[in-house]
Structure 1
């Protein structure tokens, strides 16, 4: 059986065409794989890079944005290379507009002209503002020394001597001035009588001290009334028989004090004075007393050898002052807190007492 040549030209084809038929075909050119060719435009935005370089370049934000972490940290630590690096990066972004891989930033061709114009305009405006501020600054030439007058042409004019006004020294604050400012002042009143009576309290003050004596054998009391003769809740003295002591009114009043009601069976005397008339605190005494204190706060050690009520009150003039330091019956010995002065100390006792402020 004859063998057939598959590559033989067909029968009847001319020789020239047979050569073309027998010539091998050129190799096929493989199609280009699009995945092997990288992108020609960066995924980073030109506008964002430009704004970061311009506004936040001293912190290296533009370089962090482009993925240049190492140089971004260096730029951050040097505050934009003290401004030089910041300026160079702005120029590079405007002139080239490329990312870390050298690809053109997205939008560079579209927005580079606008970015150049805006950057230049702001730079010129900043220079104008700086120049205006410099021109408005006070000039040192305005403080030039005035020319010296010719002493031969014009005699020197003696300036008048201006006497300095005498400034009176402010009065030194004392515990007495504090008492007058806090409770008011008035002229001292002295009155005597026998038996029951009413004594009008002086006007112009909210508090005062009352020094009283009594030589009777029965009840002796002194209480405070208001304008309608109602009690203001203050019983200054309430004892049997003879009495001599000093107490106060106004510190714990529940009304406007106007009248002092005296109940007595013997002769009595009253001296009503401002709180500032009280003596300064003493170390020991007997019976009732009112004293002024201007020491520092601390503690108060007290003793009492009487058989009746013993109390110590400190009045500072402050609202809601809780100044009841001691309130006992009979003998007492103890230490209690003491507020700093100025203040008034009121002692109620029927025996001997001592006070030591520390």
Structure 2
């Protein structure tokens, strides 16, 4: 009698692990307090996991105050990210309180400075030894100075302004597979980065300075295939010299002057960069994606806070937009609309 043979069963292929939701987000409240009171010593950057730039900020005493102010503004506007590029937890709940307390601290500092200044002795400003004005000769005709000629200056467009602001260079296209480094155009302060990736794992583009430290610009950070445009050189904490590419598939990256970006479009999908020439207006926008939706406007105004939208998931709302010329950078994973009203 023969022994029964058990049928061979092929092993079940492993099932890829489902993406895990974000965990361990850094607290907006702590990051704001550290930036406000201990930013000079880089405590806020240490808290966000950015050890390298934290040490640099410490030894330069907050970049002689300028870096401290920049980081505080980034935290208050919701633009600050941790080392992994994730937004801070609790920004929507605490931003009103943070702005109010920060304003109170600034006003208190101004008042104290004014009181100390008024208590200082003031010197006599009278100048008794000033020479008398030259007397006019009676009957002499007054010499009329010719009015300066007014030369009409052409109004700058957003493309002209962008090229003057970040520089002009020859457009470059780079291709590769897997991780790599791309040298940025020499002498340029920023530009348009258009990328495509056909892999299935993490795809990231990070801007590095001459010492291979991050400039704080994480242009792309996604999983799988990608197509989109981002802006390099906006709100950077250093001069970018190369782009670090993290990928598992083939990629194509084109680097072009900022002035080559298209004019503002009414709709689209994914990351995009546009030029805006219009006046101050209301911007109505929507998004149907599931991840970060961010709209930033970079203008010629040094004190302009350009974070117009910073949300996660679906969004619909109207926000103020400043007058151009300006650059609008959209970060999205779904379809979006932009309407000027």
For the criterion TM > 0.5, the same-fold answer is: yes
CA deviation map 1:137-169 (0-9, x unaligned): 69xxxxxxxxxxxxxxxxxxxxxxxxxxxxx98
Q: Is the 8 A contact 2:192 2:232 kept in 1?
A: yes
Distance between the aligned counterparts of 2:141 and 2:215, measured in 1? 72
Q: Is the 8 A contact 2:285 2:339 kept in 1?
A: yes
Q: Does 1:287 align with 2:263?
A: no
Q: CA deviation at 1:283?
A: 0.4
Specify the alignment match of 1:225 in structure 2.
208
Q: CA deviation at 1:321?
A: 2.8
Q: CA deviation at 1:133?
A: 3.7
Q: Does 1:335 align with 2:335?
A: no
Q: CA deviation at 1:317?
A: 3.1
Q: Structure 2, unaligned stretches of length 5 or more?
A: 1-136, 143-150
Distance between the aligned counterparts of 1:324 and 1:212, measured in 2? 23
3-state DSSP class of the match of 2:304?
A: coil
CA deviation map 1:236-266 (0-9, x unaligned): 0000000000001111111110010000000
Q: Does 1:315 align with 2:298?
A: yes
Q: Does 1:242 align with 2:229?
A: no
Q: CA deviation at 1:170?
A: 5.7
What value does the CA root-mean-square deviation take over the aligned residues?
A: 1.8
Give runs of aligned pairs for residues 178-217 of structure 1, distance below 5 A: 178-217=161-200
1:169–1:259 distance in 2 versus 1, CA, 3 Å: same
3-state DSSP class of the match of 2:164?
A: helix
Give runs of aligned pairs for residues 65-80 of structure 1, distance below 5 A: none
CA deviation map 1:19-44 (0-9, x unaligned): xxxxxxxxxxxxxxxxxxxxxxxxxx
Specify the alignment match of 1:173 in structure 2.
156
CA deviation map 1:285-340 (0-9, x unaligned): 00000000010101100000011110100000332331000011100000001101
Name the count of aligned residue pairs.
197
Runs of 4+ in 1 over 6 A off after TM superposition: none
Specify the alignment match of 1:67 in structure 2.
none
Q: Does 1:260 align with 2:243?
A: yes
Q: Is the 8 A contact 2:300 2:325 kept in 1?
A: no
Distance between the aligned counterparts of 2:166 and 2:212, measured in 1? 22
Distance between the aligned counterparts of 1:333 and 1:133, measured in 2? 75
Q: CA deviation at 1:171?
A: 4.9
1:169–1:325 distance in 2 versus 1, CA, 3 Å: closer
Greater relative CO, 1 or 2 (CA 8 Å, sep 6+): 2
Say which one has the larger Rg.
1
3-state DSSP class of the match of 1:181?
A: helix
Distance between the aligned counterparts of 1:235 and 1:175, measured in 2? 24
Distance between the aligned counterparts of 1:171 and 1:320, measured in 2? 25
3-state DSSP class of the match of 1:280?
A: coil
* TM-score of the superposed pair, with normalisation by structure 1: 0.53
Q: CA deviation at 1:281?
A: 0.1
Distance between the aligned counterparts of 1:318 and 1:241, measured in 2? 37
